[in-house]
Structure 1
């Protein structure tokens, strides 16, 4: 308490009883792929021997635009005699994935370069380098369709609980079944798989080539987050930069894939659209069958976690309980107003309970303060049904 020694007017700054919780970012991506070596980088202006320096292999690099990516990893290039077909193919997949990410609405991503396609066989070590980067919310290894690779990305996302994996289906599966397209990758609500591959114009070869969709789809996530919010399913959205599909699927094809969580990209009236918004496993994932639900719950968990750090070591009393309730309730009220929570009133959309019931003496004695939160998350209108009947005029 301040000490007052003489009469007068004293003005003091008083901290608010409840601190606002800011929503965390949801659209920063993390990519891993094959990049150029120093000798493959462009020459510096006016030099015949001095090349630009490529970003160090195995070190995450923050990229905020295509021009910055070119400065760090190089522009599109034709295949050189020293490159193997596997290395050059993986190089194209990373280049076009990052370009597609920014072209479809992405604004920030972290990129890890590996030297060769063989280095993508075991990606666990590189994925571990993404762990300290808290802003990453989307993870992709473009073109990595092997079961071990995809499950490593799923393990990474399930461990951290604040990001999702964008997976590519097999380019040319033996059959149009969920198992063949996913390559046998296990179900997970922390991942979404997209099929088929895209046809994209390659400026280096000046031809259309087949490329995995994960980079373009990650950009669509960012675009929808910015325009509608993370609660909106990133589906029924145009894929910018794709000129065609490796194969065109229709409704009958999707009928057999959608329940298993294979998100199909389909042609509609001259445009190509992502026409699925499910997590890998679909119906088997229960309440997390929809990708928007998983991503929104990740967003809530992370936002509340970061926004209530002020609580640690505060006196565990009813005054603290009221501050927690007010902070979390105000945050959820904003989510309800944004259309992310279902209910005609805030009371129907969510509840926050932090009181004597959740914090009895035995809980307080262990140094814990417990808050129970319930939310009614809106679900996407996946099946739009109109029932029409003919009335007899009278």
Structure 2
């Protein structure tokens, strides 16, 4: 379920015959995902972006309905005054806390495939400390770049991720079997889904400048 995202309601679009048609918003949301990727990166939640095109919603949700659906992992579409139709959440339907958000799941997918692709040179290289050091350098460079872009949490790369590829996880037996093990841990940023402001009136205090 961590690879699944649901959106509601469907959208109404003009058909080629001039008649309004109700269609699932999948194509429009794919455009939002692609636009968010291009403008910010896969680590940015694909939400608070308007769906482009001459659209209207099949039904208008209330705040209570949105809150109920959001808890169920359904991403709601709302018509925001002056901002068009937007997806107002970016959740998967997974019940696992680690995979609640679309951007976290996609960041891990992107990182996994990027690291695999950039490490193909390691196949059939001598399985020794030089290979392990090369893999550590390659993966660390990639993840440091992701941290600099804001994809990983932490004030420094050491807080944002770790890369282990040495004798501690590459035993003589695994080397003899032709296996190279590189353990990687990352701390993805999570969206500020709920923003709370607390305003307090302080009587008798001079205004600070």
> Considering the TM-score relative to the shorter chain, is it more than 0.5?
yes
CA RMSD, Structure 1 to Structure 2 (Å):
1.1
TM-score by length of 1: 0.51
Q: Which one of 62, 66, 78 corresponds to residue 254 of structure 1?
A: 66
Q: How far apart, in 2, do the equivalents of 1:250 and 1:268 lie?
A: 12
Question: For each residue in 1:97-144, what CA deviation from the matched residue of structure 2 results, as whole angstroms up to 9, or x when unmatched?
Answer: xxxxxxxxxxxxxxxxxxxxxxxxxxxxxxxxxxxxxxxxxxxxxxxx
Q: How far apart, in 1, do the equivalents of 2:184 and 2:166 lie?
A: 12
Which residue in the other structure is 2:8 paired with? Answer: 195
Which residue in the other structure is 1:361 paired with? Answer: 172
Give the number of the structure whose alpha-carbon radius of gyration is greater: 1
Question: Is residue 2:79 matched to residue 1:229?
Answer: no
Which residue in the other structure is 2:130 paired with? Answer: 319
Question: For each residue in 1:155-174, what CA deviation from the matched residue of structure 2 results, as whole angstroms up to 9, or x when unmatched?
Answer: xxxxxxxxxxxxxxxxxxxx
Question: For each residue in 1:163-204, what CA deviation from the matched residue of structure 2 results, as whole angstroms up to 9, or x when unmatched?
Answer: xxxxxxxxxxxxxxxxxxxxxxxxx010101110101122x2
Which residue in the other structure is 2:30 paired with? Answer: 218
Question: For each residue in 1:83-106, what CA deviation from the matched residue of structure 2 results, as whole angstroms up to 9, or x when unmatched?
Answer: xxxxxxxxxxxxxxxxxxxxxxxx
Q: How far apart, in 2, do the equivalents of 1:390 and 1:351 lie?
A: 45
Residue segments in structure 1 that go unaligned for 5+ positions in a row: 1-187
Question: Is residue 2:151 matched to residue 1:334?
Answer: no
Tell me how many residue pairs correspond in the alignment: 204
Q: How far apart, in 1, do the equivalents of 2:204 and 2:50 lie?
A: 43
Question: Is residue 2:155 matched to residue 1:344?
Answer: yes
Q: How far apart, in 2, do the equivalents of 1:295 and 1:321 lie?
A: 27
Matched residue of 1:267: which SS? Answer: strand
Q: CA deviation at 1:285?
A: 2.6
Q: CA deviation at 1:214?
A: 0.4
Q: How far apart, in 2, do the equivalents of 1:357 and 1:243 lie?
A: 57
Paired residues of 1:279 and 1:285 also in contact (CA < 8 A): no
Which 4+ runs in 1 deviate beyond 6 A? none
Q: How does 1:117-266 map to 2 (within 5 A)?
A: 188-202=1-15, 204-266=16-78
Which residue in the other structure is 1:298 paired with? Answer: 109
TM-score by length of 2: 0.94
Question: For each residue in 1:44-66, what CA deviation from the matched residue of structure 2 results, as whole angstroms up to 9, or x when unmatched?
Answer: xxxxxxxxxxxxxxxxxxxxxxx
Residue segments in structure 2 that go unaligned for 5+ positions in a row: none
Q: CA deviation at 1:242?
A: 4.0
Tell me: higher relative CO, structure 1 or 2? Use CA pairs within 8 A at least 6 residues apart: 2
Q: How far apart, in 2, do the equivalents of 1:253 and 1:285 lie?
A: 23
